Structure 1
């Protein structure tokens, strides 16, 4: 235990140089270049990591510094974007373990640690890194789900904007790919808003839709029926042959729908 005590003091007394050695070693082995602020943040985290490791060797406490947890979560947060990949963070862990092992091997030789003591320290390091790895993955998954949900909400709002043409008349341009999420958004958010605006005629323009399936066609038909029940007449424009075929295949009778080739024709019919 006296030898372990000496190793503990060595780690605590040399935290800064050891932290820099770890960070520089990982960057060199992976041929990575990162911003100075990110490097400094990593060094600060490893300073606390090594301090905590040194203390834990004496009190034999298998916990993890809160800074390491936060650092792991922040790493995940920086990768949450359309092009972000969690693999860019995870690939740093194997070289980190290797460099830690090299450092502790040298220290073990210098201090004459037994194989049992050496294995104990390596196990403690790997446990802390495993917790960091788990925190990174968990945070990435949670933040990714939140990001996707927020993106879905934003896209849903953009995919069906209400465009007021004149008093009592609005165009509802349907844009992009209408999925079940966006169809529900129209039903739950757009339809009540149309009713609040006291609109009498809604021109649902399909010319901007890339693709719909039979289920979505039925959803959109239900939305039209709901508007009719509210006393709002729905006119449909921009139905391409492929969209019309999907609607027919879904069991919807096109003869029940007032259709026009484009928005201009629909407006002209209302002005007669």
Structure 2
């Protein structure tokens, strides 16, 4: 995709959209994880119904709340970086910001691996080390260029943690959980005694496949948003403010499509629940 714009250095107006992009990606991540958990917990009801009793241990949470919080913490660190760079670009308030960036680097270095998403700590370690070196750097563009390899490392490890393909990382974990749900429906099909029951179970099986694929697309969209953020920062570091602006516009469009897709999934979910309620 060709990105318009001349090679002009970013100014203080260019970083707020980057910060907004970080916030959007944070919201998208939290919502995606919460909705995946909610959906899969609901789908475990069929499995529990085959058991003689019910307990909390039978309801599995795919993405633990503490893991969701780790992702929120990671985005919070990136927001602090963007806020500091925004200040460094503003001649009215830039005094001392380079020390603030160096302090942020030291703070990132102190964050334990267990406080960040699995596999992401390495990227933040790179960023933290580079930010510490900025303590004597008063030129905003030079600071952004120096930090860019670390920013790229953070978003690259985040994308890897989501999963490059459907069987990898978080995507693979979620898909495995869906396989358990589908296995229950297969067992129900074998127990069905009439064609009508088998047809109903078959339709439910297909609907579950659609829901599984829709949730995976949600994670694919999240990876795409992270990639757009990485590319936008690279454009800022290269002095191509317009290129960064265009990429961040694509990120907002991606999030809008994602939100619309989530609404459609939720609508189908409500309709399915109403149908089951009517049958009962």
Please indicate the TM-score interval, normalised by the length of the shorter structure: under 0.3
- Judging by fraction of residues, say which structure has more helix: 2
So what's the TM-score if we normalise by structure 1?
Answer: 0.27
Q: Greater strand share, 1 or 2?
A: 1
TM-score norm. by structure 2 comes to 0.26
**Higher relative contact order, structure no. (Cα contacts within 8 Å, ≥ 6 residues apart):** 2
